[in-house]
Amino acid sequence: MSPQANLKPSLDENFQACLKTLESLLAEMTEIRRHLHQYPELSHQEVETPKLIAEYYRKLGLEVRTEVGGRGVVATFRVPDPVKTIAFRADFDALPIQDEKDVPYKSKNPGVSHACGHDGHTAALLGFAKSLVENKDRIRHDVVLIHQFGEELYPGGAKAMISDGCLEGVDAIYGCHLQSMLPSGRMYYREGYIQAAVDTFEITVKGKGGHGAVPHEAVDPIVVASHIVTALQTIVSRSTDPLEQLVVSVGSIHAGDANNVIPGEAVMTGTIRSYAPETRKTAREKLVKIASSVADALDAHAEVELESGYDALWNHPEETKIVKKAMVNLFAEEDVLETSPVMPGEDFSYYTQHVPGSFFFTGARPEGEAYPHHHAKFDFDETAMLNTAKTFMAILHQY
């Protein structure tokens, strides 16, 4: 595990003071994170978590709006004659996964756990907010603190919170995701696309059932589905520019329940991940055409249902330069890296469609064995929360 970065002597006194305050708050951030970890709440079912967040901000004396877009919380830190209004966002929902870690802060809610680090995002933003209040005479900007519900489950909470005015008057927005598989102490930025657009599909193949011993008297939907799965691979290999990123994956096929019966129907589900809007459009159109045409050729019928998920997340160039400069001011040169784009989706994408912004990653690999996001044993190095909060502060300092 990499040590925390040493403060650089070139940083001005006000900024140094803010960072030292943040360092003193790591224990409190950890306590908050562990409490949230023990009492996780599923997407769009969050009740106690937003209450905790709102109460924390009220005790700090900040303006607080609750039930923003549904279950969101927005707090505002204000200064006299602000130069800018900068927003920072954290998500707070959990996943339907049983927590299998052997730790004192293990989830107490059966079948639910913070297996993606959203508890850490929340604690880091709360710590950042408290450092603003304790250094209010050193801050020159208004800060909007956005705590979002429902990120893990489409339609997410971002769109609803935006519609409810969470970005009103905001000049730029920033967010972060802790990464359990990236080295702790390292920070990652990227200009342009950083996370993919997400679409899901369900293809129902309707054939003609029959006895497995006389397949010529039936239309086997399993065989048809198998041909469709193979043909779908040509969307990536033959219908898409090889320089464009695209994934088309079938994740499940369900058909029949007996070894000597040809079922009448097969249902397959899957996902499409892409970045460029034109690539996304092409993949969706080709999927429908291939499924229908292959089924028709084999005397079956295919019905396709497509559901659009989150759009691809685009980081604006100027705001990403600010993120990079903020990181360079805090961390050693070798610990500030450009990340490759990743395929998981993230509804932070909608914020940057409305105001300029940038989303970055914080390395948070724990000591010992590390597990990926959405794993039953997921955990992270809690000092990564401090690195995230410091980066927020450094971003604010750039303005």
Binding residues for Mn(2+): 116, 118, 152, 177, 374
Q: Where in the chain is the domain with CATH 3.40.630.10?
A: 13-195+312-398
Could you give the residue numbers annotated as active site?
93, 151
CB within 8 A of 353, min separation 6: which ones? 311, 314
> Structurally, what CATH architecture does the domain formed by 197-308 represent?
2-Layer Sandwich (3.30)
What confidence tens digit (pLDDT) does each residue in 331-368 have?
999 999 999 999 999 999 999 999 999 999 999 999 99
Binding residues: 116, 118, 152, 177, 374
Q: Where in the chain is the domain with CATH 3.30.70.360?
A: 197-308
* CA 317, chain centre distance (Å): 20
Angle at the Cα of 35 from the Cα atoms of 369 and 63, rounded to 5 degrees: 125
Superfamily of segment(s) 13-195+312-398 = Zn peptidases (3.40.630.10)
Instruction: Tell me the backbone φ, ψ of residue 167, rounded to 5 degrees.
Output: -100, 10
What confidence tens digit (pLDDT) does each residue in 66-84 have?
999 999 999 999 999 999 9
Running along the chain, 399 residues long, what does each successive block of 10 average in pLDDT?
A: 47 91 98 98 98 98 98 98 98 98 98 98 98 97 98 97 98 98 98 98 98 97 98 96 95 97 98 97 98 98 97 98 97 97 96 98 97 98 98 96
